[in-house]
Amino acid sequence: MTSVYIVDDHELIIEGITSFLQKEKNITMAGYATTALACINFFKCNIADVILMDINLPDMNGMDLCKIIKTNYPGINVIALSTLNQGSYITQIIENGASGYLLKNADKKEILEAIATVQKGKTFFSFEAGKIYTATKEKRTGLPVLSKREKEILKLIAEGLTNIEISKQLFISIDTVDTHRKNLYTKLKVNNTAQLIRSGIENNYLE
């Protein structure tokens, strides 16, 4: 018998999961929460075997909540839930102690499989998530490290400033700005402004 707790700010998702998990005879619902805080409070005086946890909560991100839960209750297995467009968080939440990763478009079978797998102490990735994981892993691990100054200049370029304007703003020579720009091109393997901005945005160097 496995007791399952759900944290998700979408009532519909909770309703959906609850509705079909209740039909399973070896699973009980421990409860649910729509906020991280409510979840934390619940576990102060209750327990569960598995938490299905949305990584996108209104009051806290799932990464942090997962860390808190795993620190205080290492016996609970956390399965992260996310939508397709949040694939890049997989690595982070796994590092924070999650045992599984499910996309919200997972079908019922997959969810049961995930619960069963993490209860055996193993890790479960939904098929789609696995693809994203390996796809983004290479992207991420190969990501060059930009120096403070380089990031700063990249941001200013992205804002549309020219080398001259940047040089004035940072009180450095135009040539220096140019050098940084060249180094950015080399590091990010691009060769003009357009590609630089794209790479900057796609790899989250901006903001």
Strand order of the β-sheet with 50-54 is 27-33, 2-7, 50-54, 77-82, 100-103, 124-125
- Contact present, 105 and 128 (Cβ < 8 Å): yes
CA–CA distance, 111 with 102 (Å, rounded to integer): 8
Q: What is the largest CA-CA distance in the chain?
A: 71
108 binds a second copy (CB under 8 A): yes
Residue closer to DNA by CB (options 15, 175) is: 175
According to CB under 8 A, which one of 75, 121, 142, 160 is a site residue for a second copy? 160
Residue type, 90: I
Binding-site partner at residue 140 among DNA, a second copy, none, CB < 5 to 8 Å by type: none
Binding-site partner at residue 131 among a second copy, DNA, none, CB < 5 to 8 Å by type: none
Question: Per this entry, what is the length of the chain?
Answer: 207
Binding-site partner at residue 45 among a second copy, DNA, none, CB < 5 to 8 Å by type: none
Q: Which stretch binds DNA (CB under 7 A): 5-13, 63-71, 122-130, 140-148?
A: 140-148
> Nearest to residue 53, comparing CAs of 88, 87, 102, 91?
102
Minimal distance, residue 177 CB to DNA, in Å: 7
Minimal distance, residue 159 CB to a second copy, in Å: 7
Within a 10 A sphere around the Cβ of 45, how many other Cβ atoms? Answer: 6
Site for DNA in 151-180 (CB under 7 A): 157, 162-164, 170, 172-173, 175-176, 178-180
Is the sign of the CA dihedral 113, 118, 120, 122 positive or negative? positive
- For binding to a second copy (CB under 8 A), which residues are involved? 9-20, 83, 85, 104-108, 111, 157-162, 190-198, 201
